[in-house]
Amino acid sequence: MERITLEVDALRIPVLKGKDRDIMYIHGSGCDATLWEKQLEEVGGYAIDLPNHGQSCEAEIRDISDYAYFVAKAVKKLVGSAVIVGHSLGGAVAQKIYLEYPKVVKALALVGTGARLRVLPEILKLLKEKPEEAAKMVSKYAFSNESLADEFSRIFAERAKVLHLDLSLCDRFDLLDDYRNGKIKVDVPTLLIVGEKDALTPVKYSEFLKKHIPSAEMVVIPEAGHMVMLEKPDEFNKALKNFVERLQ
Ligand code: COA
């Protein structure tokens, strides 16, 4: 896998590159581009390290739109426009990219995400006071698979500060009314993927999106939790490949 370093407004934005394909993957809270290794290998495309994550630059991020700005600029530089795949917080970023920079969006794949992403207040409080306990709790909710949950509990504990920032941004993200009153009309092909056992962004969040984006396709992956691309990579890749191959 290749690592490419882009410059956006003189800031360093790294992306991982898999097989040639116009896809940009956006990770969720406290994660980084490596989350998508199996997708880059088998489906292809680019995965970004959002600012303050992985090997990315440090930048002041005040809301989800700030992340959207960096990703949209990266897509423009790399391929002009792409299928934007976003997981959880990354799914909120993908929705903002569609609303604010529609020219860079060929299609959307919204994974384990929603139109509103309120966060348990207990998680936000614990992340400040007892990061290790908070990391354990987030991992327990995020995975249906115990060994992956243990591994991520350590990763999230090391990244408690950025995880707190990301979850605070999620907590303020809310497009529910804009979808309900028709202000948002998504007119690009859209795929919704969610794990059947997702405890952080339950299936009903994707059902809401499906209701308000009638043309969207929805795939519920059995026996998977929130981190569906890691827990069930084969099923996930099959759904994504099937979607992107029909776009050409
Ligand atoms: N799509 C569709 N419906 C949504 C939604 C979404 N993205 N987000 C919230 N809603 C609905 C809820 O189902 C609820 O409907 P109901 O009253 O019919 O049950 C209503 O909107 C209000 O929900 P919410 O905004 O979440 O407020 P709340 O005070 O009921 O609950 C939490 C707050 C934090 C307890 C709850 O959001 C939760 O359990 N979140 C999941 C855990 C978490 O931390 N996730 C992290 C996401 S990154």
Give tens-digit pLDDT for 40-51. 999 999 999 999
In a domain, 86, yes or no: yes
In a domain, 180, yes or no: yes
In a domain, 123, yes or no: no
Which residues span the domain enclosing 47?
Answer: 2-117+174-247
Instruction: Report the pLDDT averaged over residues 208-233.
Output: 97
**Over 90: is that where the pLDDT of 1 sits?**
no
In a domain, 70, yes or no: yes
**Over 70: is that where the pLDDT of 227 sits?**
yes
CATH number of domain containing 28:
3.40.50.1820
- Rounded-to-integer distance, Cα 96 and Cα 178, Å: 12
In a domain, 186, yes or no: yes
Q: How far is the CA of 29 from the centre of ligand 1 (A)?
A: 17
Q: How many domains are contained in the chain?
A: 1
Average pLDDT value over all residues in the chain: 96
Instruction: Report the pLDDT averaged over residues 227-237.
Output: 97
Which residue of 89, 118, 124, 227 sits with most ligand 1 atoms within 8 Å of its CB, as the best mutation to test the pocket?
118
Reduced to 3 states (helix: H, G, I; strand: E, B; else coil), residue 6 is strand
Residues 183-199 as b/e (b if ≥16 CB within 10 A, e otherwise) read ebebebbbbbbbbebbe
Task: Output the pLDDT for position 10.
Answer: 87
Q: What is the pTM of this model?
A: 0.97
User: What tokens appear for 222 in the block?
Assistant: 């059995």
**Over 70: is that where the pLDDT of 248 sits?**
no
Residue having the nearest C-alpha atom to atom 34 of ligand 1: 120
In a domain, 134, yes or no: no
Q: How far is the CA of 85 from the centre of ligand 1 (A)?
A: 22
Residue having the nearest C-alpha atom to atom 31 of ligand 1: 118
Which residue of 27, 89, 113, 116 sits with most ligand 1 atoms within 8 Å of its CB, as the best mutation to test the pocket?
116
Q: How far is the CA of 246 from the centre of ligand 1 (A)?
A: 33
Q: How far is the CA of 74 from the centre of ligand 1 (A)?
A: 32
pLDDT in tens, 78-104: 999 999 999 999 999 999 999 999 999
Residues whose beta carbon lies within 6 Å of some atom of ligand 1: 88, 114-120, 123, 170, 200-201, 204-205, 208
User: What tokens appear for 98 in the block?
Assistant: 């569609």
Reduced to 3 states (helix: H, G, I; strand: E, B; else coil), residue 215 is coil
- Rounded-to-integer distance, Cα 38 and Cα 18, Å: 9
**Over 80: is that where the pLDDT of 3 sits?**
yes
Sheet holding 11-17, edge to edge: 2-8, 11-17, 46-48, 23-26, 82-87, 105-111, 190-195, 217-221
Task: Output the pLDDT for position 145.
Answer: 81
Q: How far is the CA of 174 from the centre of ligand 1 (A)?
A: 10
**127: amino acid identity, one letter:** L
Percentage of residues of the chain with pLDDT beyond 90: 96
In a domain, 241, yes or no: yes
- Rounded-to-integer distance, Cα 170 and Cα 241, Å: 28
Residue having the nearest C-alpha atom to atom 39 of ligand 1: 120
pLDDT in tens, 153-199: 999 999 999 999 999 999 999 999 999 999 999 999 999 999 999 99
In a domain, 139, yes or no: no
Q: How far is the CA of 224 from the centre of ligand 1 (A)?
A: 20
